[in-house]
Structure 1
């Protein structure tokens, strides 16, 4: 398993979880809200949040009946163990602000989980026996840090990536029987652990020593050498050298076969993400050249004979099996929509987490079964998306549009802006947009320049005019929405979380006549102060996006900072902020709010005691209710509990 910083990523994606089967130690309280309201009595929009969900189960490589998943069964997202042989399930973690980062040791004996403090993402790895027992520090001798990858070997080798403001990026190796780990890599720029080879002898890391945090290179290190120190360089793969264009690489995994030195690598050499095989011992590169449009990722089948291909194109995804010996590419049948994660089991079946905008997520198997089928309450469905393509200043912009089940336009319309920025909205189930639809709003989601899934040129277009470029694409779609009769021009809402929250505040200031309301969750509000306070990996990203630090390119930081335009904001704005947020820290939000208050601008601020988003269901419901009620007060639309018919 690898853990890396995902830029200014937003809150947990709801397509990563689905309904959960019977979980021991979970009471009927999971069917009630904090106020004791029964699930059946709650409005449909709240039921979508409250319905029990799980992530795609991870399984131990040497003990595939032992699985680990994330569930909100108690009302907070936590880790759960599942013994498939007996059917027994149990809750592994229990913390006030939840836990989602975890993995299994290859032999299935241990569950590793990351312990931060109240959502601040700064902490240490802990471990617990699979069958239950006391937690213990997993890697003695390492202080708290931001996680930057983790790899666990079959023979007991452990590789831990860390990131701190003081040390930059470091990688540490703990061998079986050793009392403490040894440091084998250090650099000021961002880096992280990619994978560990099957026999534990080779370590792949991703690094950005060249200074471009958006495009990684790969270095393979030896876990042990003649001196016993480890860390000797075996091979390098760096597509940022020898040309003017920066091309990124990503580690997808070593071959799961003893003695096989092939590493599955994602590359962008043809303007999109594709997989290739790189033999780190010989240097041989095998280009797969899959004839599929859009971005392509892959993982190994358990016997190493083939690859499970995940193909994303125009906000949908599908699965294929690639046979390495013959080059045959065979479709793995899945419903139309989005496969947000998938894994190939040892018996050759594929388990995958699927949803669509209309249908809640479910974990399915290619054997025809539902992997986890809950006896409890289900999330109500929502409405499907429509695809819209609009000509923008940088090319055709793809938007996903949802209309309320009742009524005719023009509707009050929420432009729900995704985070990242290296992310994209897809035809996947999401409770937040569904809540707006239930209250009579249309929802528009724009895959602006900077989004993934539309080629490297589209993703990389942000540099140096950060924020302003994305808003040009959103403006083009906004003009279409009004001209087509979908959107009421007097009731346009700009909303989003994380990078989407940043674009919301920036849009309210740079396009003050366009928006009637703004809803910004965990945003970048004051770019310079955010840079000073954010985690080190995000500082590197900001230097890449803007071409330097605030001291080096002050004019670019000023041009891209919402604080620069705060005095032009006319629309009422509601801001939600996590007081422990390391990505969009609280001080820079307070600076922005102080400026709003000084000029008497209409605004509300809600601060909650967690980090970059909440893993507590009641807290998420509260935040959505605050947004709905803020919009109702200022636009005259239905409040959070207003009567809306359930979508059938």
Structure 2
């Protein structure tokens, strides 16, 4: 066993000419889709890894000036611009533990200050900033008080306007500041939110709840108030036809306008700045596309984007659309429908990778979609990595990912499975994993594994099961429940002991676990036992590599240690790497170190693996 702790080793610097392609993909500067201030659209905020750590950057489009806003050892990604562009709010936690306070600083620079004096540290549960420059709606989550929402005004004590033991969050604040939309799960189902609209004094204006009156549980989400003064229309996401779609709800009159978009996949939307149209984002079978929907003519017009994935998009005041695009083969870029690249970071460019192939496999719950990458020109059988996505309510897509590309560079095929529980394939597919949590997803992974072997792609003697977060959980659970199927396992920030994880994790995740498993560990102990990797640790045959953040609030370190102790007691082959961060790392050197350790573990334990 190897056991290591602490920050990344001091890296050995190489020049771009000598650096391997996989490392370049991590080091190459990249940027997020820039957010912009509603009333000052030349003022923007984005995230970049230009310094080697992901931090927030301000960008004045009028002058072209950019400056780094935050500078913390473990990075910063949560930031919001005030509508007038005067302030940048950012969330300040401790070494990635996600527990902290909002701070703010002037757009053009200056000292940070606590944004809402009087509020104790907590986990964030949404933020909406008013156009008056002095009002904010702040959501907070903490174990001892559930979720609270406060109205905060500069120079005044924050006032609590909402409290409930179950999870909730701030959705949006209307343009004139008179209405506050809240997503809540007071009914106890953390997978399906209901909506409530409040006045600033906490009085309820309207409610929308699709979880009532039927056996099928449906969710709602806030997409945003109309960007017009006095307008009481709220853009809402719903699941009434078995997938996510938008509708317009007038919270004053109760009128609901169904857009009835004839698109097969999940659909999200946001307002154009003048409120006359909607920017539609359509996700279907691991790809995405954009449309403009005119509210006056109820017509849908496609916005041309290359094949691949749009990770974010926004409509600008001039009518153009900016979007962050990538594919499995091509690195991300922020483009505009005006034909230009919006924001091109200087320095080294990320090398391309190989395209992704689509595979459909018949599984126990229906057709399973998997994405496959293999080294250019390679034929099977190949050493194959099953890289399992997190979530579980997430999905792999035809998007650029440096991790899978690193495996391909080293001669592996990579298979990514959108198992039951994944988004983008309809509500029933996403909701299917309840009560038999983990076991259902692994049935789908097993079906795709059988296809990979029988098709000649994968060498059954050289199969790696890996993933991070929920994917790390499925890795450990799969190694114990399918011990003869996998040659080795690599689990990053995993759930390893479900009962201990439940008691140590943040309150919002406790609510999700109660929904998934139907209760607490004390109420449904048999379900927690059946779904916990710790239950099957004695059946694990493959070498196991685990990495974990010591400050992780989502997959806390104590439950990982419980699993590791059981491996140690058996004398099982395993290695553990602990690092000083939370649920993953925002430091590029640290992330490269982790990938290098994973590649090295596979090279040492996989028969015939390439160095």
Please classify the TM superposition score into its range, dividing by the shorter chain length: over 0.9
Report the secondary structure of 1:371's partner residue. strand
The equivalent residue for 1:227 is none
Instruction: Indicate yes or no: 2:60 matched with 1:83.
Output: yes
Instruction: Indicate yes or no: 2:222 matched with 1:251.
Output: yes
Counterpart CA distance in 2 for 1:297 and 1:69 is: 22
Counterpart CA distance in 1 for 2:190 and 2:485 is: 33
Of residues 177, 191, 214 in structure 2, which corresponds to 1:200? 177
The equivalent residue for 2:76 is 99
The equivalent residue for 1:29 is none
Q: Deviations over 1:199-239 (max 9, x none)?
A: 0010000000000000000000001xxxxxx0000000000
Equivalent residues of 1:406, 1:440 under 8 A apart: no
The equivalent residue for 2:427 is 456
The equivalent residue for 2:534 is 563
Instruction: Indicate yes or no: 2:262 matched with 1:285.
Output: no
Q: Deviations over 1:89-140 (max 9, x none)?
A: 0000000000000010000000000000000000000000000000000001
Between the two proteins, the alignment pairs up a number of residues equal to 601
Of residues 146, 167, 173 in structure 2, which corresponds to 1:168? 146
Shift of 1:637: 4.8
Counterpart CA distance in 2 for 1:241 and 1:356 is: 40
Mapping of 1:283-432 within 5 angstroms? 283-432=254-403
Report the secondary structure of 1:472's partner residue. helix
Equivalent residues of 2:21, 2:351 under 8 A apart: yes
Contiguous gaps of at least 5 residues in structure 2: 1-9
Counterpart CA distance in 2 for 1:637 and 1:187 is: 56
Mapping of 1:12-27 within 5 angstroms? none
Mapping of 1:381-530 within 5 angstroms? 381-530=352-501
Of residues 522, 525, 528 in structure 2, which corresponds to 1:554? 525
The equivalent residue for 1:148 is 125
Equivalent residues of 1:172, 1:181 under 8 A apart: yes
Of residues 587, 594, 603 in structure 1, which corresponds to 2:558? 587
Mapping of 1:27-176 within 5 angstroms? 34-155=11-132, 156-175=134-153
Instruction: Indicate yes or no: 2:547 matched with 1:538.
Output: no
Report the secondary structure of 2:500's partner residue. helix
Report the secondary structure of 1:41's partner residue. coil
Q: Deviations over 1:349-370 (max 9, x none)?
A: 0000000000000000000000
Counterpart CA distance in 1 for 2:601 and 2:173 is: 49
Shift of 1:638: 5.1
Structure 1 runs (4+) greater than 2 angstroms displaced:
33-36, 636-639
Question: Taking structure 1 as reference, are residues 139 and 637 closer, same or farther at Cα in structure 2, changes over 3 Å only?
Answer: farther
Counterpart CA distance in 2 for 1:74 and 1:550 is: 44
The equivalent residue for 2:197 is 220
Counterpart CA distance in 2 for 1:482 and 1:186 is: 52
Counterpart CA distance in 1 for 2:113 and 2:173 is: 23
Counterpart CA distance in 2 for 1:407 and 1:211 is: 50
Counterpart CA distance in 2 for 1:252 and 1:178 is: 30
The equivalent residue for 2:581 is 610
TM-score by length of 1: 0.92
Equivalent residues of 2:383, 2:609 under 8 A apart: no
Instruction: Indicate yes or no: 2:556 matched with 1:578.
Output: no
Contiguous gaps of at least 5 residues in structure 1: 1-32, 224-229, 643-648
Question: Taking structure 1 as reference, are residues 637 and 42 closer, same or farther at Cα in structure 2, changes over 3 Å only?
Answer: farther
Shift of 1:39: 2.7
Of residues 226, 233, 241 in structure 1, which corresponds to 2:212? 241
Counterpart CA distance in 2 for 1:601 and 1:573 is: 8
Shift of 1:372: 1.2
Pairwise CA RMSD of aligned residues?
0.8
Shift of 1:179: 1.7
The equivalent residue for 2:4 is none
Equivalent residues of 1:39, 1:50 under 8 A apart: no
Counterpart CA distance in 2 for 1:544 and 1:272 is: 19
Counterpart CA distance in 1 for 2:364 and 2:539 is: 24
Report the secondary structure of 1:400's partner residue. strand
Counterpart CA distance in 2 for 1:174 and 1:98 is: 27
Shift of 1:375: 3.7
Counterpart CA distance in 2 for 1:154 and 1:636 is: 61
Counterpart CA distance in 2 for 1:244 and 1:482 is: 40
Instruction: Indicate yes or no: 2:241 matched with 1:264.
Output: no
TM-score by length of 2: 0.98
Shift of 1:34: 3.0
